[in-house]
Amino acid sequence: MTPASTLLSALRDARDGSSPPRRGVLLTGPIGPDGDSLGACLALQRVLRGFGVDADVAGTPSYRYAWLPGADRMVPDERISPSYRSVVILDGDRHRLPRPVQAAFEAAEVRGIVDHHLSTRPDGYTHPWLDPAAESTCGMLLSACDEWNVDLDAELATLLYTGLVFDTGGFRYSNTTPDSHRAAAALLALGVDHVSVCARMFAERRAEGVLATGEVLAAARWLHGGTLCVSRVSSELQHRLGLVDGDLEGVVDALVHTIGTHVAALLVERGDGSVRVSLRSRGAVDVAAVAGSVAATGGGHRKAAGATVRGTLDEVEERVANAVATHGGSVERAT
C-alpha cells in the first residue's frame, strides 16, 4: 500500500476500545497556517466525511481564508482537548503546533503527517506521508483522490486549488511543473472561481495591512552588499495599527523581488520574547538551511522558509544575517 492509502486506512478504522470512547480525527496545520495548509485540512475533512469518518479541523482562520468552504466550522485551538484517537498534521510538522494541539497529537494513537517540505523528517509519526517532489500538500491530496476513488465537487476542488495556487505563488515559483498546470486545469473545469481565489489570497488586504506594508517597505535595509534585504515589524507597530493575522502575509515577497536582492527576511516581534522570521530566496541561497540554523524547529523550502527565534529584534537580525552569510557563499562570490 502507498503511504496515502495506509494513512486513509488508519483513519477509517474507527474501532476504539478505550473507555470512555475517544473522538475521531483531528486535522491541523502549524501555528499560522497558510493557504496550502488550510486548504489541505479542510479538503481532507471533506474526504473523510465522505467515508463516514468524523473529523475536526483545528484553528481559527484569518480573514484571508475565512471564506474557504468549511472554515466556519473549524475548532479554535484553545478548545482542542487530548481526546482524539487520530491527529494528522498537514503542510507542517509536529514541532510547530499550538500547545493544545500538541497535547492532542502526543496523546493520539494514530499520529500522521502529510507534507512536502524537504526539511520534514518522518520520525515521531506512526503514519508519515512525505513527498518533497510535490509542489504542494493540496497537490498530494489531489493525486490521492484518484487512488482513493473520491469524486471531486466544486467545493473540494476549490480547497485543493487554493493550496495549489498558494504554494506555487500563482504559478510564478520554480516548483510549478507541467503537472501543476494540468491539475489546475482539471480543478478549474469543476467550477473553481480562479479570480476570486487569487484576489482573496494575494491581493485583498485590510486598510491596516496596507499601512503596515508601507511602513515595512519604508524601513527595509540592505546588507551583504545589497544581497540581503531585512525589515522589521515591532510590537509597537502592530499595536498602533491594530494588526491581525493575515495583515502581513505576502509582504516578505515584495522585499525579495528587488533588483540585486537574493534573500529577504521579515522579522515580526512577538509578545512572548520571540521573533517570527519569514525568509524568501531567489534560489542561490537555501533559506530552509538558514531557518534551520537559527532555530531547531526552523525549516521549509529552499526558496521559502521560516523560524521562530528567541531574542530581541536586534539579536535575531544578527543571527539571520550571519546565517545567510554562512549559507550564501555563492551569492557573496557573485557580488
Grid cell, residue 20, equals 470512555
Q: Residue 18: its pLDDT value, please?
A: 55
Phi, psi angle pair for 327, to nearest 5°: -95, 0
Q: Please report, to the nearest 10 degrees, the dihedral formed by the alpha carbons of residues 245, 272, 310, 81 taken in order.
A: -70
CA dihedral 90, 92, 96, 102 (to 10 degrees): 20
pLDDT at 20 over 70: no
For 36-62, the pLDDT digits (tens) are 999 999 999 999 999 999 999 999 999
Quick one: cell of 304? Answer: 521559502
Q: What is the pTM of this model?
A: 0.89
For residue 330, is pLDDT > 50?
A: no
What domains are there in the chain, each with its CATH number?
3-201 (3.90.1640.10), 207-334 (3.10.310.30)
By the 8 A CB rule, do 92 and 33 touch?
yes
Mean predicted confidence (pLDDT) in 15-44: 84
**pLDDT tens digits, one per residue of 102-127:** 999 999 999 999 999 988 999 999 99
Mean pLDDT value across residues 165-191:
95
Burial of 140 (C-beta count, 10 Å sphere; 0-12/13-18/19+): buried
Q: What is the mean pLDDT of residues 163-187?
A: 95
**Is 90:28 a contact under the CB 8 Å cutoff?**
yes
Does position 21 have pLDDT exceeding 90, yes or no? no
3-state secondary structure 72-115: HHCECHHHCCCCEEEEEEECCCHHHCCHHHHHHHHHCCEEEEEE
pLDDT bracket for residue 329 (50, 70, 90): low
User: Quick one: pLDDT at residue 46?
Assistant: 97
Please compute, for residue 167, the number of CA atoms within 13 A of its CA located in the half-sphere on the CB side. Answer: 35
